[in-house]
A and B are shown apart, each in its own frame.
Chain A
Amino acid sequence: MRLTVFNGSNRGKASNTAILLEQFLAGFIEQAANEYETLYLIHEKDQTRCVEAFKEAETVLLAFPLYTDCMPGVVKTFIEYLEPLCGRDGNPALGFLVHSGFPESVHSHFVRRYLEKLSRRLGCRCLGTVIKGGSEGIRAQPERMSRKLFRLFFELGRIFGKTGQFDKKIVGQFARPVRFSKLGLLGARLGAKMGDMLYWNRLLKKHGAYDKRFARPYEPDKQ
């Protein structure tokens, strides 16, 4: 199978998206005949090369982090460039990977609806959408903390490389929790506090900005 990957992260090669894809693609090429090509939307001067790659692709994986509950601007730019391909014969099969820092998958459910409609609009066979929450720390944390996640992404890629499908079991596992239960929310509250302290405060202190963390530079003058 030939897979064309579009990395839609604004962080490009230095993104969590790239790290997750690396694992997925390592699994994917376990099948000796499989090959892939990765294009980074943010690193392209204009998107014509990406459109050409899409046109020639057999199977496409579009991967990006959730940005304000939707696709990042650069991904929407790419999608607009694809407009002339709507309904064309021979469009590739199209799968999606959306990840976000939020622990629940519900945040990404809305853009999934958009993406699956987009497949229909283009006339692409839709391979589905892999949603993964809790992804923001991956770049920052030691690799051993991500070992299980990486193994699952490798396995997802391996099965995809063999069957051309996202494994339902792994996709289901990634999607949990969709929302927190009442009990889960207690844990989430604690997790949120921990995230504030261990992630945001650490970064704020590292940059000497902790004391300014509640700054309101655009507050209108009170008269």
Chain B
Amino acid sequence: MKKITILNGDPGNRAYELDSYMGEIENLLESRGHEITSFVLRRMDISYCNGCWGCWVKTPGECVVRDDSAQICRSLIGSDFLLFASPVIMGFTSAVLKRACDRLLPVIHPYFEIVTGEVHHRARYEKYPALGLILERGADTDQEDIEIIRDIYSRMTVNLKSELRMMRFTEDSAEEVADAIDSI
């Protein structure tokens, strides 16, 4: 059994199939005994990070802006697996998802450390979830876009003290994706 947090970044302004696809995935994962916390980001009150560093130097570990982003941080830290889901819009995951990702800063510590020969910030917690990504391709999405997204998310996972363990597409069957999550 895994605790799984899902961040659904479907902006809801177009006929994406992501919502219904994620519904299927969630049902399957639950039927296999996993505990799912799913956030539909567009329905949440999450403002843009204002870059104040308050979560590092005023109220360490917590954002000074009290909105729904705290729920995500809490759920993430309590999870074994964090799944990002988004349509590809203009060659990247949605703004709704990026806005939420910018608010994950409280789970990291400001102090610096050297990781694989680069300067990064330190971990605040002992354990972080493994990460996965589900994408719904847009009409204009090409292989280069996918590679750029994969590489940027791989970088993001270094900062989240984790690894990108899975990247799938909505054209994969829900069973396949659930199997992949099972095996992580």
Contacts and interface: CB of A to CB of B under 8 A. Distances in A.
Interface of A: 9-11, 15, 42, 65, 67-74, 76-77, 79-80, 82-83, 86, 102-104, 106-107, 110-111, 113-114, 117-118, 121, 179-180, 185, 188-189, 191-193, 195-196, 200, 203-204, 206-207, 209, 212-220
B118 A106 contact: yes
B99 A77 contact: yes
26 contacts: A11-B50, A42-B48, A67-B98, A68-B159, A69-B156, A70-B156, A71-B98, A76-B94, A76-B95, A76-B98, A79-B95, A102-B118, A104-B118, A114-B152, A121-B140, A179-B118, A180-B117, A185-B117, A206-B57, A209-B58, A209-B59, A214-B124, A217-B61, A218-B61, A218-B78, A220-B78
Q: Is the interface of B mostly helix, strand, loop or mixed?
A: mixed
B145 interface: yes
A83 B112 CA distance: 38
Interface stretch (B18-26, B84-92, B175-183): B84-92
B57 A73 contact: no
Contact of B145 (A82, A107, A111, A117): A117
B119 interface: yes
Contacts of B76: 218
Given A73-B102, A117-B91, A192 B51 contact: no
Contacts of B78: 218, 220
A113 B139 CA distance: 20
Interface in B105-124: 105, 107, 109-114, 117-120, 124
Interface residues of B, number: 54
Contacts of B109: 213-214
B124 A68 contact: no
Contacts of B89: 80, 83
B49 interface: yes
Given A110-B151, A192-B114, A216-B124, A11 B57 contact: no
Contact of A114 (B74, B111, B148): B148
A68 B48 CA distance: 13
Contact of A192 (B59, B60, B113, B148): B113
Interface of B: 11, 48-53, 56-62, 73-74, 76-78, 89-92, 94-95, 98-102, 104-105, 107, 109-114, 117-120, 124-125, 140, 144-145, 148, 151-152, 155-156, 159
A107 B114 contact: no
Nearest to B107: A218
A5 B78 CA distance: 42
Contact of A200 (B57, B74, B144, B148): B57
A76 B105 CA distance: 18
B152 A219 contact: no
Nearest to A101: B119
A206 B105 CA distance: 20
Contact of B48 (A10, A80, A103, A217): A10
B51 A65 contact: yes
B12 to A, nearest CB: 13
Given A70-B152, A79-B90, 12 more contacts: A73-B98, A83-B89, A86-B140, A117-B145, A180-B117, A185-B114, A195-B112, A204-B60, A209-B57, A218-B61, A218-B78, A219-B125
B48 A73 contact: yes
Contacts of A213: 60, 109
Contacts of A220: 77-78
A209 B114 contact: no
Contacts of B73: 218
